[in-house]
Amino acid sequence: MMKNAVAGLDIGTSSLKITLIDIDSSDLIENIKIDYPRSEIAPGVVPAQMYEEVIKKAIYEIEDKVNLKGIGLSFHMYSLCEQTDDGIVVYQWNSLWDKDSEAELILKELAQDSGCPIDTLYPAYKMASAKGRKFLPYGLKEHIVNMLTGELFTDYTCAAASGLFDIKEKRWNSLLIKHLGFDVADMPIVKRYNTKLETKSQRDGKAITLAPGLGDGASASYACLGVSPICANLGTSMAVRAVTSEIKEAYSEKPWIWSLDEERYIVGGISSNGCSVLNWAEDMGFSKEIDIHGGNSEVMFIPWLHGERTPYWSSNLRGTFVGMNINTNMQALNGAIVKGVAFTAVKLMDIIYKSINGSGNELVVAAGGGVHINSLMEIISGCSPFKIGILNNYDYLAAYGAALTAAEALGVNIEKKMEVKEIITPNHAYEDEYRRWTKVSEALLSLYN
C-alpha cells in the first residue's frame, strides 16, 4: 500500500532536489536529486520551459511512489523572467549584469525600505536598467506557481528578495513599481509560505494541495529552526541567515533583510566567493582538499573573484594574493586559497550573529557542498567563535523545509526529525591568521574602490 506523503521540491539553479515525508509517521521516505539538462542561453539565463518540463515530470514520477497529498516549493532566489519571441526566459541570480549609475539613483530614492542593498543581484536593479528588455514583474517561482495553480502567487521571502517590496509595510512598493512601468495590479499576490493552494494530479487530475513555500535559503533556515536560528550555506556561493522577530533601523555591515511572514524577518549576508572559487582553483591545478598542518602562513588570498557582496557590495573588488616572496610555493598558494574561502564564511557568520545580537545562540547549522570539504571545515573550526552543527539531512534542508510547508498547508502536524549528527567545536588554530586576513581585506578596499 502506498504511503500518504508530502513532497518538498527545491528548485535550484543546477538541480531539483526532492524530499518525500510520510505524513502518518513523519518519517523520511526518500531524497531524490535530478540534474537539469544543459540549456543556458547565456551565463545564468535559462528557458523557463526547461524548469517546467523537469518539474512536471518529477511530480508525475512521485505519484508512482506515494499517495501524494501535498507539494511544497522552494526556489533559488533573485530570479527574473523576460518575455522573448522564443518564450519566457529566466535570469538566475548568477546571470551577468553591468552596473548602471542611473538605476542606482532610482533605487536610492525609491527603494529605501526594500531591505536589499543596491546591487545587480536583485531583480529591481535589472528592471531599473532594463533598456528595452521585456521583463515581467516576477521571477521563476511565480511563473511555476502560476503554471501549477493558474494563479500568480508568491511568498514574503521571494517578494522581499526582488527589491520591489516594502518590508516595513509588508506590501509592494507602488512608487517604484510604477516608475518601472508596471502597476501593483500586475504583481503577484503575496501570501504566507503555508497558504493552501491547489494543483492537479499529473496522472488523474485529482486535487493536490500546494504550498507556495519559501525561497531556498529561507526554506533551509525554516527546516533547522528547532536546532538553531542561524543557518550557513557553504555552496557555490555562500550565505548565512538568521530568523528574528526584530530588525534595526540601520546596520553597519549592510546585510540584506527579507520578510519571512507577517511578523518575522530573515537577516542575512551573501558572498559569491564560495566553492566557486575552489572550483576555479581546481581548474587552475590546485586542490580543494589539502593537508593544512594547522600552522599559520604569511601568504594570504582575498578571494574576491566575483567582486564581493556582504558587507562591501562592490563589483570593483578583485581576488588578490598578499605576502608572497621568492620562497612561496604552490602548497602555500593552495592553502591560502582554501583559507580565503573559509575566512569569508566565518566573516559572514560573525556579521549575522552580531546583526541579531547573538540571541544567546552559540551554534550555527552548516549545509551545502562545502561541508564535504574537510580542509575547508578544519579552517572554519579554527577561527569560528561558534560551534558548527551538521544535520543528518543537510544536503536537502531546503527540500525538507518545503515539505514542512506542504504539511502545514494540509493541516497536518509533522514532527521535525532534523538531528545534529556532528558538532564541530572551535579550536582557535587560525584565529591570528583570520584577524590578519580581515585587516588586509579592509586595507584592499580603498585600492579597488
* Span 142-181, pLDDT tens digits: 999 999 999 999 999 999 999 999 999 999 999 999 999 9
Residue 377, domain member (yes or no): yes
pLDDT of residue 394: 85
> Helices 216-223 and 397-410 meet at what angle, rounded to 10?
80
pLDDT of residue 361: 65
Residue 122, domain member (yes or no): yes
Taking the C-alpha atoms of residue 392 and residue 6, their distance in angstroms, rounded to an integer, is: 19
**SS3 call for 143:** helix
233 and 260 belong to one structural domain: yes
Q: What is the largest CA-CA distance in the chain?
A: 71
Residue 297, domain member (yes or no): yes
Domain boundary among 166, 192, 214: 214
Asked if 441 and 350 touch (Cβ cutoff 8 Å), the reply is no
pLDDT digit string (tens) for 290-318? 876 645 578 999 999 999 999 999 988 99
* Domains: count for the chain: 2
**pTM of this structure:** 0.92
Domain boundary among 190, 214, 238: 214
Amino acid at 85: D
**SS3 call for 332:** helix
193 and 234 belong to one structural domain: no
178 and 65 belong to one structural domain: yes
184 and 53 belong to one structural domain: yes
382 and 441 belong to one structural domain: yes
Indicate the helix (H) or strand (E) that contains 419. none
Strand pairing partners for 244?
A: 265
Q: Considering only 78-82, 236-240, 359-363, 426-430, which range has the smallest mean pLDDT? A: 359-363
Strands 230-234 and 363-367: parallel
95 and 231 belong to one structural domain: no
Residue 46, domain member (yes or no): yes
Indicate the helix (H) or strand (E) that contains 51. helix 48-65
48 and 103 belong to one structural domain: yes
Full residue range of the structural domain in which residue 76 is found: 4-214
45 and 13 belong to one structural domain: yes
197's CB contacts (< 8 A; 6+ apart) are 145, 149, 151, 153, 209, 210, 211, 212, 409
21 and 170 belong to one structural domain: yes
**SS3 call for 396:** helix
The CATH number that applies at residue 251 is 3.30.420.40
Domain boundary among 174, 195, 214: 214
Burial 145-175 (b: 16+ CB within 10 A, else e): beebeeebbbbbbbbbbbbbbbbeeeebbbe
Residue 17, domain member (yes or no): yes
Q: Would you call 130 exposed, middle or buried from its count of C-beta atoms within 10 A (0-12, 13-18, 19+)?
A: middle
Residue 146, domain member (yes or no): yes
Residue 179, domain member (yes or no): yes
Residue 219, domain member (yes or no): no
Strand pairing partners for 28?
A: 21
Instruction: Decide if pLDDT at 333 tops 90.
Output: yes
- pLDDT band, very low/low/confident/very high, at 279 (cuts 50, 70, 90): very high
143 and 286 belong to one structural domain: no
135 and 29 belong to one structural domain: yes
347 and 393 belong to one structural domain: yes
CA-based radius of gyration for the chain = 22
For residue 220, count other CB atoms closer than 10 A to its CB: 29
Nearest-5° Cα angle at 348, 344 to 353 = 150
